[in-house]
Structure 1
Amino acid sequence: MNVFSRFFLSSLLLSGAVQANDTVSNANDAPNFAFGLGYGLLDQKSLLNIDFKVNIPISEHFSTQVLLNSNYLITGSSKDSFAQSEFSSNWFLHNDYGRLGLGIGISELEPLDDEQESERDVIAQFIGEVFLRDFSLTTNYISTETTLSNITSSRIGLSYYINEDLRASLYREKYNVNDVGWRVETHFQPKKYRQVGSLGVIARTGQDYDYLGVVVQYYFDYAVSLKQREREFH
């Protein structure tokens, strides 16, 4: 975890240094912090997700992001229970019509059983998104073969904003070695509390694992609709 900590801090320092040399477009273009907590059943086994994300606008069309994502698969046996952590730094070029992003990071898989060795890998990520009024077309590729997260997985799909604070999405997703399946999710940000966060429900089916869970995200920023938030920050 010391490697992850150094990577995270260096990414923040680099992003902050770049931001200091440029001028953001308005008062709302300040760093955006988000904390996510998710829980669900993956093939009747408990899967806990903890995510922390920092979005830093650099200019009108350029931004960077630091993402810490942790998954804990709890099976009741140390033989197949494990923790997975992904720390990554992502960079985005965007406008009113879409976004392109590239990222690099470190992934570590740590079994609960001390007799098993941990696995560590460098990961690369590509993100592409097109905005069409109330629709978004999304593609996301991540190089690691095993990712159980609610956020970082290889996928392609379509999102529809029913209103400014309610989104429904359908994805074709690869999340664990060769396991490919469908993912349906909806996210709702109550207007009364939209400065606080959002609630999401996720259902996923695959060749080996089915998943059903919820995710709560808390935002440390200004009041803004879910649609605007997700188009400004990935």
Structure 2
Amino acid sequence: MDLVALKVIIEHRSEKLLLSSGIPSTVEQLHETVKETFGLIEDFTLHYLDEDFGDTKEQHELDRHQLIAESKKKDSTAIKDLMCRTFAHRRHDVISLQMSIEDIKDRWPVLFDVSQVSAEFQRITTLNLEPKFMSMLDFYSPKLLSMFQGKKGAVGERHRAKMSILLQSGIPIQRKREVIIRCLIDHLGEDASALIKDFEDAADAPVSVQEELAEEVMK
């Protein structure tokens, strides 16, 4: 049997796995081989499968329908695994078929859940979305603030009103980021109230805040 080489992505690095006996006959055998070879303790998922593992179009659709059904349940534990298993199918819809946003929302509603936006970003790039976004926001903050400061008209006035708080000393980085994000939303002509939700005394009711945020989806 021919030697088979697989690319295995582990955190932020990629490794080559050589299988001298070819592809194992089952997913479970491949799973165990990868786990033993790289000394993995925690569980993991396989993103790309071929027809040797029963990865057919029919199975893709069954998994997709199961994912939709699971999304209607409260606190479903199967969504994470199903999203990983259907990644290649979803990628085909987006890249190969170039489906519209409305069609993708109809076929993959879970993808527009707040938590799954971050999870999908990590599946594609192997990076965590929020830390990556914040680091780039901090990197471009000087240029963004300069752009907002130079904006003319009513929008510029709103920018400068928001940025006035940054003149104070000891402003925490979280507050600075909030100001820049609000200015950027306004700069792009979007409604900040539709994208940012403010909570009063959130510390007094952290559970209800988390529950409300969990119900948010991308529009």
TM-score (normalizing by structure 1): 0.22
Q: Which is richer in strand?
A: 1
Larger radius of gyration: 2
Higher helix proportion (structure 1 or 2): 2
Structure of greater relative contact order (alpha carbons < 8 Å, 6+ residues apart): 1
Give TM-score, length-normalised by structure 2. 0.23
